[in-house]
Amino acid sequence: MLEKPVPQDSRSRAQHPVYVIGGGPGGLAAAQALRARGIRAVVLEKAPRVGDSWRRHYDRLRLHTTRKRSSLPGLPMPRSFGRWPARDDVVRYLEKYVEHHGLEVVTGVEVTRLERAEDGDGGGAWILHATGGRRLTGSAVVVATGYNHTPRVPAWPGLDGFTGTFLHASDYRSGTAFAGRDVLVVGVGNTGAELAVDLVEGGAARVRLAVRTAPHIVRRSTAGWPAQNTAILVRRLPVPVVDRLARAMAKLSVPDLSAQGLPRPDTGLYSRVRQGAIPVQDAGLIDAVRRGRVEVVAAVDGFDGAEVLLADGSRITPEVVVAATGYHRGLEGLLGHLDVLDARGLPTAHGPRSPRNAPGLFFTGFTTPISGTLRELSRDAERLARAVSRAATH
């Protein structure tokens, strides 16, 4: 990408840059917002190119948020991307974003540990330990390493002895690779739902979807009105009110799939969102389940040789298991010693707020808003830049 030498430490705090860890949408948006306020921001990206996590997503991925509401500050997404930009469009957009704003991006550098600077460290607020023995001093640090950082695989009994093919969704690319095979997808978040549909369309002989907790399913768009627009309108309302509204809308727009193994959830949609469970936006799952092309089965409890043990006591023998079981944030090694993470491994502060015990340390991209992740990343970037600017003047 943009290979530039990592800046050397200086003796004046005013000369220390703000380091942004992560070259995805959140990190780039934060860097641009800081730069627009005259604050030098250096993005450190461990991969060879920006947007690395987007490059590794499955082929059929499209945004569930509209092009207009997914642009980062200072550069609209091109109309040619259509209403729902594809994965490759997002990657091209991120590359263009760096070029358009002249962002200072250093690739191939991984930050492994953050520490508060001592008085003898040139006046900087933070020390970053990075690959190659680098020791960098920053006036502030923005952590934007991404919500989906480290693949998570449950500790299923017997998994090591499974004789079929097993992979995490992060290693899945296209359903055509599994044409003619019997595949079990584990997990019914947005990724699991889309992979199940992709497998059907790719020619898999049989597709089953293991579900522990029935998800809320919403139409991505109804009569031309995106679900994102509704989410933006209701996001400030009390949780019980949104739960009731969502329940009524679901009865009107989403068929009852109880007979197929996907009953309507007992808990409210917004209540689940506040717990980190984003509703599934329909990209073909409803039709595939209704037609029996995707079979819903009980949750996975373990493995026994070639068999998968399900929570209802049954056993199945898929040739392939794809675990769409989510990710860890992977922040413990970087800053677990700073007491800035909660029990789930998420930052205790976000956006323009620093943890009380770590002034000058900011986080972006670690929430799952119903109003759209890219939209909220952009808003966070502007607020975060204002906070850094205010701190620099005091």
Could you read off the pLDDT of 111-132 as tens digits, one per residue?
999 999 875 454 569 999 999 8
Domain that holds residue 273: 152-323
In terms of pLDDT, which residue wins out, 393 or 194? 194
Residue 1 lies in a domain: no
For residue 6, pLDDT beyond 80: no
Q: Cα 349 vs. chain centroid, distance in angstroms?
A: 18
Tokens representing 232?
Answer: 């933006």
Residue 2: per-residue pLDDT: 46
Residue 131 lies in a domain: yes
Residue 118: per-residue pLDDT: 76
Residue 7 lies in a domain: no
Residue 6 lies in a domain: no
pLDDT band at 71 (very low <50, low <70, confident <90, very high): very high
pLDDT digits (tens, 9 = 90+) for 250-283: 999 999 999 999 999 999 999 999 888 889 999 9
Q: Is residue 137 domain-shared with residue 184, that is, in the same domain?
A: no
Q: Is residue 145 domain-shared with residue 191, that is, in the same domain?
A: no
Contact (CB, 8 A) for 205 and 180: yes
Can you tell me the distance from the alpha carbon of 257 to that of 23, in angstroms, rounded to the nearest whole number?
40
Residue 224: per-residue pLDDT: 87
For residue 8, pLDDT beyond 50: no
Domain boundary among 323, 355, 372: 323
Q: What is the mean pLDDT of residues 60-89?
A: 95
Tokens representing 59?
Answer: 């082929």
Can you say whether the dihedral through the CA atoms of 273, 53, 108, 36 is positive or negative? Answer: negative
Q: Is residue 19 domain-shared with residue 62, that is, in the same domain?
A: yes
Q: Is residue 181 domain-shared with residue 230, that is, in the same domain?
A: yes
Residue 8 lies in a domain: no
Residue 393: per-residue pLDDT: 66
Q: Is residue 226 domain-shared with residue 116, that is, in the same domain?
A: no
**Kind plus residue range of the DSSP H or E element containing 88:** helix 87-101
For residue 138, pLDDT beyond 80: yes
Q: Is residue 102 domain-shared with residue 181, that is, in the same domain?
A: no
Q: Is residue 24 domain-shared with residue 100, that is, in the same domain?
A: yes
Report the chain's mean pLDDT, rounded to a whole number: 92
Q: Is residue 245 domain-shared with residue 338, that is, in the same domain?
A: no
pLDDT digits (tens, 9 = 90+) for 239-256: 999 999 999 999 999 999
* Amino acid found at 321: V
Structure letter (DSSP) for residue 361? E
Residue 368: per-residue pLDDT: 83
**What's the predicted TM-score (pTM) here?**
0.90
Can you tell me the distance from the alpha carbon of 208 to that of 196, in angstroms, rounded to the nearest whole number?
8
Q: Is residue 302 domain-shared with residue 176, that is, in the same domain?
A: yes
For residue 9, pLDDT beyond 70: no
For residue 180, pLDDT beyond 80: yes
Contact (CB, 8 A) for 135 and 157: no
- Domain tally, the chain: 2
Q: Is residue 141 domain-shared with residue 161, that is, in the same domain?
A: no
Residue 17 lies in a domain: yes
Contact (CB, 8 A) for 380 and 362: no
Tokens representing 293?
Answer: 């092309």
CATH of the domain at 193: 3.50.50.60
Residue 119: per-residue pLDDT: 57
Residue 388 lies in a domain: yes
Can you tell me the distance from the alpha carbon of 139 to that of 23, in angstroms, rounded to the nearest whole number?
19
For residue 339, pLDDT beyond 70: yes
Q: Cα 264 vs. chain centroid, distance in angstroms?
A: 25
Residue 40: per-residue pLDDT: 96
Contact (CB, 8 A) for 331 and 345: yes
Can you tell me the distance from the alpha carbon of 31 to that of 41, in angstroms, rounded to the nearest whole number?
5
pLDDT band at 302 (very low <50, low <70, confident <90, very high): very high
Contact (CB, 8 A) for 29 and 73: yes
Q: Identify which of 215, 226, 196 has the alpha carbon closest to the alpha carbon of residue 321.
A: 196
Question: How many Cβ atoms from other residues are within 10 Å of residue 372's Cβ?
Answer: 23
Q: Is residue 292 domain-shared with residue 351, that is, in the same domain?
A: no
Domain boundary among 323, 351, 366: 323
Residue 4 lies in a domain: no
Domain boundary among 323, 355, 380: 323
Residue 120: per-residue pLDDT: 46
Q: Which residues of 215-244 are buried (b: 16+ CB within 10 A; e: fewer)?
A: bbbbbbbeeeebbbebbbebeeeeeeebbe
Top mean-pLDDT range of 89-98, 264-273, 328-337: 89-98
Q: Is residue 178 domain-shared with residue 309, that is, in the same domain?
A: yes
Considering only 110-124, 190-204, 344-358, which range has the smallest mean pLDDT? 110-124
Contact (CB, 8 A) for 65 and 371: no
Angle between helices 373-392 and 25-36 (to 10 degrees): 40
Instruction: Tell me how far apart the 2 most distant CA atoms of the chain are, in Å.
Output: 69
3-state SS assignment for residue 184: strand
3-state SS assignment for residue 14: helix
Cα–Cα distance list, 79 to 63, 66, 71, 82, 392 (Å): 14, 11, 11, 6, 38
Q: What is the mean pLDDT of residues 75-93?
A: 96
Tokens representing 148?
Answer: 């989906």
Residue 348: per-residue pLDDT: 95
Contact (CB, 8 A) for 348 and 342: yes
pLDDT band at 15 (very low <50, low <70, confident <90, very high): confident
Q: What is the mean pLDDT of residues 217-233?
A: 91
Can you say whether the dihedral through the CA atoms of 388, 392, 393, 394 is positive or negative? Answer: positive
